[in-house]
Amino acid sequence: MFEPAITGSGVFTPALSISNDELVVAFNAYADRWNAEHAAGIKAGEVEAMAHSSSDFIVAASGIERRFVLDKSGILDPDVMHPWLPERDMDQPGFMAEMGVDACRKALDMAGVAAGDVDAVICAASNHERAYPAIAIEIQQELGIGGFGFDMNVACSSATFGIQAAADMVRSGSIRRALVVNPEICSAHLEWRDRDCHFIFGDVATAVLIERADDAKGPHFAIKSTRCATQFSDNIRNNNGFLRRTRPGHMDDRRDMLFMQNGRKVFKEVLPLVSNHIAEHMADTGVQADDLKRLWLHQANKTMNDYIGRKVLGRVPEAGEQPNILQDYANTSSAGSIIAFAKYSDDLSPGDTGLICSFGAGYSVGSVIVERAG
């Protein structure tokens, strides 16, 4: 058995970002047009008018101030209200592969590892731009990696589930090194015309390199323990898939073909699930609240993270103990906790313990207990 460790991490951040104010202007223009088109029905009381969104609400309800996106023009055009990401030719890299490769290169550079020395690529994300061949295999080829690659999807928990899969393979000796990569194009599965959720998501890609702790060339994070759990729920759902072609009717206007959530229920049900999961994981591995120097939590909602931080530590976390990146990136699904980890982990000292935790649709929750070393 070998001890697995995270020796490198990388973040690809798109060049474009949208502030809440810009987003709200576009949404409100769309709502005004929609209301004008449906004026007769609204007047007759047959349809409900679409209410305006507001930046103040978005910050108060979520903590989100802006989000990075691959395309801005389509999202902010009231006639379009989705990103323009034209389909690429077969001989060009896919969007997910391209952003994933960038994040992987950064993780490899940080670890001082050549791509040729990696044995596996796991592309763990909440949506994949095609059914097959796997995005992971395309990333594998782009980077010149041997071995194998595969895609997996556990929605917002994909990164921690991917880390557990890779860590177990490194621990057993079946592979020596793996890249776990999370390219998230959330802008393409968000319904930007739905006031309740139009502000929630952004685009990003993250990657971590996992190898034997003994192979680490510099400071790293030994993976002490991982734990995953799932429990079926419809409260976060996206029905889009290949079966849509086999059903009658005009599919493009079906609301269930994009991200849908019952946000309030998610809030209420996921909080105890996550807090209990972390508490049990810590108890079973002998980690006390006082031992935890940092929490890198999934970034969906600031109030949720504040609550989980308080529950896990038994007190209000001090500044820096539970870094949020949500204000700048919004919810980036599986990538959120890894962005926080990549940006806020350098300053820990050898022997310091931290916890990465992601949670979301499924429901799903994954936690990774790490210790700074080297």
Residues that are catalytic: 156
Mapping DSSP to helix (H, G, I), strand (E, B) and coil, where does residue 227 land? strand
Q: Which is nearer to ligand COA, 16 or 271 (CB)?
A: 271
Q: How many CB atoms are located within 10 Å of the residue 66 CB?
A: 18
Q: Which is nearer to ligand COA, 301 or 322 (CB)?
A: 301
CB of 52 to ligand COA, least distance (A): 7
List the structure tokens of 152. 């997996």
- Please measure the distance between the N-terminal and C-terminal CA atoms of the chain and give it in whole angstroms: 20
Show Cβ contacts of residue 51 under 8 Å, excluding neighbours closer than 6 positions.
Answer: 31, 195
CB of 117 to ligand COA, least distance (A): 34
- By the 8 A CB rule, do 340 and 319 touch? no
Q: Which is nearer to ligand COA, 42 or 373 (CB)?
A: 42
- By the 8 A CB rule, do 236 and 361 touch? yes
CA distances from 7 to 98, 128, 178, 234, 268 (A): 22, 26, 11, 36, 36
Q: Which is nearer to ligand COA, 184 or 211 (CB)?
A: 184
With tokens 């006082």, the residue in question is 290
CA nearest to 326, candidates 10, 68, 26, 53: 68
Show Cβ contacts of residue 346 under 8 Å, excluding neighbours closer than 6 positions.
Answer: 219
Q: Which is nearer to ligand COA, 35 or 141 (CB)?
A: 35
- By the 8 A CB rule, do 360 and 155 touch? yes
CB of 229 to ligand COA, least distance (A): 16
Mapping DSSP to helix (H, G, I), strand (E, B) and coil, where does residue 320 land? coil
- By the 8 A CB rule, do 361 and 237 touch? yes
Q: Which is nearer to ligand COA, 93 or 263 (CB)?
A: 263
CB of 219 to ligand COA, least distance (A): 31
- By the 8 A CB rule, do 227 and 197 touch? no
CB of 58 to ligand COA, least distance (A): 6
Give me Rg for the CA atoms of the chain.
21
Q: Which is nearer to ligand COA, 59 or 313 (CB)?
A: 59
List interacting residues with ligand COA (CB under 6 A): 53-54, 57, 61-62, 156, 195-196, 236, 261, 263-264, 266-267, 300-301, 304, 331, 360-361
Show Cβ contacts of residue 294 under 8 Å, excluding neighbours closer than 6 positions.
Answer: 320, 321, 322, 323, 344, 345, 348, 352, 354, 355
Rounded to whole angstroms, the Cα distance separating 374 from 368 reads: 19
CB of 16 to ligand COA, least distance (A): 21
Q: Which residue is nearest to ligand COA (CB)?
A: 263
With tokens 């090194």, the residue in question is 177
CB of 120 to ligand COA, least distance (A): 26
